[in-house]
Amino acid sequence: MKTKDNKSKYYAKISLGIMGGGFLATFPFQDSIAGQVLQGGFEAGLVGGLADWFAVTALFRHPLGLPIPHTALLPKNRDRMLKAIINMLENDWLTKESIQNKIKDMNISEKVLHELEQRLDSPTLHKGIQSTVIHLINEIDPEKISPILEKELKDYLHAVEIEPVLHSIVNQVLKRELDAKALDYVLFETEKWLKKEDTKNKIGTLAKQLLDNTNADGFMKMAIQSFSQMINAEKLGNMLQPFFLKRIVLLQEPNNPYRKTILDRIHSEIKNVNERRELMVELAEWKNTMVEEWSPSDQITSLLEKMRDKFILQAQDEEWIKRNIITRLHNQIIHLKEDSTRMMKIEGWIQSQLSLMVEKYHAKIGQLVKENLEKLDNETLINIIENNVGKDLQWIRVNGAICGFLIGILLTTFKMVV
């Protein structure tokens, strides 16, 4: 473009030079008819070329640097010109309605999905997604997040009602028959303890102490004392240990009536545990105290660090990126394309957001153009205009010289004929 403009300026200067040179060259031939006709043509061409040069130059600057009135029109009318350009952009070319109507004609969501689908197989996109994922994971600071998570976790635990939790626990205990299993465990451990030799001796000793310290009157006292003198702790242990063991074994049998009685009592106590208000209050206070004293920040930080390192290691694997991100994106795009209702909703949302942006920032278009134009000094602005329309302006000078030459020939001929 710049080369063409330079050529047009070159042609304009040549045409003016030819007219001036021709005018001077025809002075010796004024006595001949042809010389007079040519001199008249060159003279008129020179005048026409100079007049058009003055007119074209006067648009942009003062001719020959002289402050001639009504010249340098563009610099003098710069503000008016800028206002006219901005007004034309805002009110004629780029009105809010025209932009919004153009947006409505565009199926933006479909174009975006199509473009994204076309690029999903691009290794460059894969690398970009991989680096983005790794960067985002690296930005996670566990030490800053853990106090937040700790607070949220404690607030949640404080808000948890103890009664529903206890009710759920009771239901699970009864459903899984954990009470019967607990009883069996106690009986089993008791049986193991009773079978020990040391336990037998302890039982005998305790029984002997009970007999010796029993308070009774009359015949009962005499009978107890007589029995106590006849038997020692070892014999009592040998008598009581098998008795207790047999009862323990019987209680482990599923159909034992005493076992059923014990379990019924346990069931009754468990089912009615929520009605024991004092116990509920104590459990709630215990829960809140445990939560307040609990400080899991270090554990949360450690867990987050491990998770971060794990995800970074996974994200460094290109196959993991393809499998977990690229493939999922591809599937989501397919589902979206097949779901016309969702596509319409997405397109409607995009259209509404863009319309709101146009409504809100439309005035910024003129302001942006104004700010960019005001950054240009007069000389730069003139050069831009000359570079874009200068070719046609320079050809005005060429045409002026040629037209002047032809008109000069006609007028001179007419004068000679008349």
pLDDT digits (tens, 9 = 90+) for 46-94: 787 777 776 766 666 667 667 777 666 667 666 777 777 677 666 666 6
Token representation of residue 401: 């010289």
> Quick one: 182 and 282 in the same domain?
yes
Q: Give domain status of residue 202, yes or no.
A: yes
Domain boundary among the residues 293, 316, 337 is at 293
pLDDT, one tens digit per residue, over 378-406 is: 667 666 666 665 566 666 666 666 777 77
Give the list of residues 6+ apart from residue 408 with CB closer than 8 angstroms, or none: 40, 41, 42, 43, 44, 45
Q: What is the mean pLDDT of residues 126-135?
A: 90
358: Cβ contacts below 8 Å, ≥ 6 apart: 96, 99, 100, 103
Mean pLDDT of 103-132: 85
Do 173 and 269 lie in a common domain? yes
Would you say 211 and 235 are in contact if contact means Cβ atoms under 8 Å apart? no
pLDDT of residue 301: 92
Residue 342 counted as domain residue: no
Average pLDDT over every residue of 270-288: 82
Are 179 and 285 members of one domain?
Answer: yes
Output the average pLDDT for the chain: 79
Tokens representing 162 are: 């103890």
286 and 175 housed in the same domain: yes
Res. 175: pLDDT tops 70: yes
229 domain-assigned:
yes
- Output the pLDDT for position 306: 93
Kindly indicate the confidence band of residue 300, based on its pLDDT and cuts at 50, 70 and 90. very high
**Burial of residue 137 (number of CB atoms within 10 Å: 0-12, 13-18, 19+):** middle
pLDDT at 224: 60
How many structural domains are present in the chain?
A: 2
Choice among 45-59, 129-143, 298-312, 382-396 with the minimum mean pLDDT: 382-396
Considering the domain boundaries, does residue 109 fall inside one?
no
223-247 per-position pLDDT tens digit = 666 666 667 778 878 888 888 888 8
pLDDT in tens, 97-111: 777 788 778 888 888
**CA torsion angle for 183, 185, 186, 192 (degrees, to 10)?**
140
- 144 part of a folded domain: no
Inside any domain, residue 393:
yes
Q: What is the reported pLDDT for 15? A: 76
pLDDT band at 2 (very low <50, low <70, confident <90, very high): very low
Q: Write down the pLDDT at residue 219.
A: 57
Burial bucket for residue 397 (CB in 10 Å: 0-12, 13-18, 19+): buried
pLDDT surpasses 60 at 298: yes
Q: Among 229, 260, 293, where does a domain finish?
A: 293
Pair (289, 167) in one structural domain: yes
Least confident of 5-14, 98-107, 243-252, 295-304: 5-14
Looking at per-residue confidence, does 207 or 195 come out higher?
Answer: 195
What's residue 395's pLDDT?
66
Domain boundary among 293, 323, 351: 293
Q: Is residue 326 part of a domain?
A: no
By residue range, what is the domain housing residue 225?
163-293
Residue 336 in domain: no
| CA-based max dimension of the chain | 184
| Joined tokens for residue 200 | 């037998």
pLDDT of residue 309: 92
Share of the chain above pLDDT 90, in %: 8
Q: Which of 206-220, 319-333, 401-415 has the lowest mean pLDDT?
A: 206-220
Residue 1 has pLDDT above 50, yes or no: no
User: Is pLDDT of 266 > 50?
Assistant: yes
Residue 61 CA to residue 78 CA, distance in Å, equals 12
Residues 170 and 280 in one domain: yes
pLDDT average, residue stretch 246-251: 88
**Does the pLDDT value for residue 120 go beyond 90?**
no
The residue assigned the tokens 């001796």 is: 201
Same domain? For 61 and 175 the reply is no
Least confident piece of the model among 114-123, 195-204, 379-388: 379-388
Say how far apart CA 283 and CA 318 lie, in whole Å.
Answer: 52
| pLDDT exceeds 90 at position 168 | no
